[in-house]
Structure 1
């Protein structure tokens, strides 16, 4: 009899347009896990884009889509969504649960073998968001998240930064496994356009995109023919307004291209033409954008905080910068843009590291090893 696995996570209807890192991880990892014939894979997800519960087959995987109840993520994690997810998991009666992100909170009370992947810290993201009572909401999320960690028997940490945050809070068995990148990224051929900087970041204060645009302004003032291409939807309208005002005020309309939310194939095309991948976020654990850029061999300029310093080797695969200092960002970008030999060395080193750490088949094998250890008698 196959081992029945409930993979409880965010999972998009359109797998070519995952929204955020957790959906991207799920889209990459699920087919790789399904290749292991000893497992019967069931994906369970709350879906905001459907009005009726549905079950569908994606190759050898069964996907259970449950209409997402109205209300905040907090309410769903604790009440409405939690009840629906618990009910579906009990109905499937799996041998093992692998929960991701807020779904770990939803399944924490189920008395079944469990693995929980911590993708991020909602309380940290909430603190950086605009809106009312963000400080209070951050404190509430912090209590809820830490309480969930304490109840988890097994946790997958996607970064040493995550492990640091978990230390002293939980007694869970912690496994270190990076997020997976599709093998398609490793097979791409780069043809970089001179002085193109690409970022895949939603428009929000946490992603700090305006600071990257300010760095572009500095480069333009120095006479660099630079182009910044930003792929990501607007999640904070006030911040987006500030961004557009800065672009207009500094006549950067031809230098900063807002692509909006794009497909995985379009991301791949952007990375193939990019000279640099830039991400100057204020809070990240193990951003998929950096992993994808490294898999393609694009030098990365990113923040020297949170999980990002564990991903980029300063001076070898890119540069770590102060995300509050646009001159520091501009200077490091200019170093790469002006030195083709350096850019080539960074390209080769990044691809090598990415294949060892992030290739989906290697991540799937490590994940299956965790499942087997958890289920061992």
Structure 2
């Protein structure tokens, strides 16, 4: 048909994470949300949509993408990692990860009384990478040096290929300022791509004279848009979790068995993930492997047979402008001017009459007998 368009978390982190997930979900089209595996498969848990290749229950997920629904709360299978949002395009997941910490002994502030490395193992089948574009590493404390290790080497179970960290210091609590994470009570660093999990650790420094305002050291990954330092964070709860984005891709169990698009297209039909018509394969940007997306002019789930459907651009003039007559076509749309009207670009410029005003007036007043 034709359309005419005329110009005219626990605690502090939980709510921001939910709002962030809601914003991400709002960007997902209705077609994408509805195209999920339906033959007996659970399609949501705790208000979180579970789009394929993710799934709950046998036969409902691709290897490595299993989600468990425990007490109406989605978690990465085999872990306690809570899932807030799952997205097919972009290929991202928002999860809540634990914080690493060490707390000093009140009577002997040069000694650590208790600690946790906040370690997460989420890559049994290698599909996830910690997003380097969305996340940052944050270290909190006074007289504190914190680090993260990731990607174990084959030489030693406690040896990692990646190490990064920073140091903070403050003589007294007032020197740390709300909103400022610049090595006084708080420091942060970017993380590189390729990180498969995290393991936090600290140097031990004497905390004499600091126990009232900085009894513990903290380290955590967090969505960079979802954390602002507050001086009160120096006394934060060690059980808090933080929102972290994961990048995912179709990969093998390790880097050596992961395929690029060119390699995957030669694989058997059951192995190749981009099964929908009008879908494209794109190489992963964080680690090896590939992702699938619907071709331009289509929307939906490229991981499902017939999962990509034509977009009716004429029904969304805000995204697909047309100042004249809009006609939807397969994979695209046409925008033209009506009879007697013209425009250099009817998608962005309104259509105007082809005849000058004087000619229009003459046509209107010509005597009937002369026609």
Q: TM-score range by the shorter chain?
A: under 0.3
* Higher share of residues assigned helix: 1
Structure showing greater Rg? 2
TM-score, normalization: structure 2?
0.25
The answer to which structure has the higher strand fraction is 2
